[in-house]
Structure 1
Amino acid sequence: MKLDQIGQALASCYDNLVAEGLPDHLAALVRRVDLAERSRSGKAERPDAPIAVVVEDERDTRELAESVLEETEMRVIGCDSAENALGILRERGGEVALVFADIRLAGAMDGLQLARAIATLWPRTRLVVTSGVEPEPGVSLPEGAVFIPKPWRALDVLVEAERAARDPWPPVS
């Protein structure tokens, strides 16, 4: 079987799981297997690797996105609100290559407000915004931001992570 066929089959299964919702017991099992696999493989985190920040208030969806991004060379940090993500960016903004944020978030800020703040304060950070609904008419994303509708596919997220790691934005002068 060719690699493309395997990827398509996995994407189809994944789409069905995300659309139906991941049961708590299955999400817990995936987390345990993922942790066991990482400890067995000895995958050490590189302190100089770029950071991917996942901003999602639904725990299972956030942990799923974190697991997908942990397959890259990036260090992954999950946040349940835009305010927490801004705290990470204030501390480590120069290290953050990618922010993957839901539009609808718990807290005072939504994902679009977060994306605009990041585009202004950390313009070299690649922005990926997601939601189960399209942004309202007249609402625009910051320049360079990408919208991926839910249910998103792991491959789409990984492509954007690869772009963030491979093609960082030019330095701000």
Structure 2
Amino acid sequence: MPLDQIGQALASAYDALVAEGVPEHLAALVRQVKHSDLDSVSKCGRLALVVEDDPDVRGLAETLLEETELSVVGCDSAEEALSVLRESGGDVALVFADIRLAGQMDGIQLANAVATLWPKARLVVTSGVAPERCDEIPDRAVFIPKPWRPIDVLVEAGRAASEAPPAVA
């Protein structure tokens, strides 16, 4: 049975239980399953990594990407992102990184590391200023200027989730 049908069945069961006046502790348990476990199970098991040192912008990008098939992990530095990649690099479908970051590495250095070490991840680099070192951004990376439009980010996430990863030479 597909996961969306399981979710619909649980939602219907919950509605029926509430209508019948079931004990609140049981209704609360069903609500927890309905709203947390199924949301994470329905994701495709692939990750979107948001690397942004501004918590508000990172939160906005994370919230936007949570509407896709990808699970989302936020990082405030390239070093933190590399730590996630070392543990889950094979699952990372999208790296969405600002050029200016907290820490020792910037987003261009991170993009080059990802392009070299995790070549199947889709790369999106963003910045509020034109990058001075455009020639250092990997060829296969997409640059989206800030303020980015949500549709542009969602299109890249959709590509990361559905298209075959680039061939590794």
TM-score tier by shorter-chain length is 0.7 to 0.9
Pairing partner for 2:131 from 135, 156, 159: 135
Separation in 1, partners of 2:107, 2:54: 13
Instruction: Check whether the contact 1:128–1:145 (CA below 8 A) recurs between aligned residues.
Output: yes
C-alpha displacement at 1:141, in angstroms? Answer: 1.3
- What residue is the counterpart of 2:61 in the other structure? 65
Pairing partner for 1:150 from 146, 149, 154: 146
- Structure 1 pair 129/47, CA: closer, same or farther in 2 (3 Å)? same
C-alpha displacement at 1:139, in angstroms? Answer: 3.3
Separation in 1, partners of 2:49, 2:108: 15
Q: TM-score, normalised by structure 2?
A: 0.74
- Unaligned ranges ≥5, structure 2: 1-33
- Residues 1:163 and 2:159 aligned together: yes
Instruction: Check whether the contact 2:44–2:71 (CA below 8 A) recurs between aligned residues.
Output: no
For these two proteins, the number of residue pairs brought into alignment is: 136
Structure possessing the higher radius of gyration over alpha carbons: 2
RCO comparison, higher one (Cα < 8 Å, 6+): 1
Instruction: Check whether the contact 2:44–2:70 (CA below 8 A) recurs between aligned residues.
Output: no
Amino acid aligned to 1:100: F
Pairing partner for 2:117 from 118, 121, 128: 121
Report the 3-state secondary structure (helix = DSSP H, G, I; strand = E; otherwise coil) of the residue aligned with 1:44.
helix
Separation in 1, partners of 2:150, 2:79: 25
C-alpha displacement at 1:145, in angstroms? Answer: 0.2
Amino acid aligned to 1:148: I
**Alignment of structure 1 residues 48-87 onto 2, 5 Å:** 48-87=44-83
Instruction: Check whether the contact 1:51–1:97 (CA below 8 A) recurs between aligned residues.
Output: yes
C-alpha displacement at 1:168, in angstroms? Answer: 2.7
Amino acid aligned to 1:82: A
Report the 3-state secondary structure (helix = DSSP H, G, I; strand = E; otherwise coil) of the residue aligned with 2:62.
helix
C-alpha displacement at 1:95, in angstroms? Answer: 0.3
C-alpha displacement at 1:97, in angstroms? Answer: 0.3
Amino acid aligned to 1:156: D
Identity level (%): 62
Query: What RMSD, in angstroms, separates the aligned Cα atoms of the two structures?
Result: 2.1
C-alpha displacement at 1:140, in angstroms? Answer: 3.2
Amino acid aligned to 1:67: T
Amino acid aligned to 1:126: R
Separation in 2, partners of 1:107, 1:139: 22
- Unaligned ranges ≥5, structure 1: 1-37
C-alpha displacement at 1:100, in angstroms? Answer: 0.2
Separation in 2, partners of 1:147, 1:63: 20
Q: TM-score, normalised by structure 1?
A: 0.72
Separation in 1, partners of 2:116, 2:87: 16
**Alignment of structure 1 residues 2-21 onto 2, 5 Å:** none
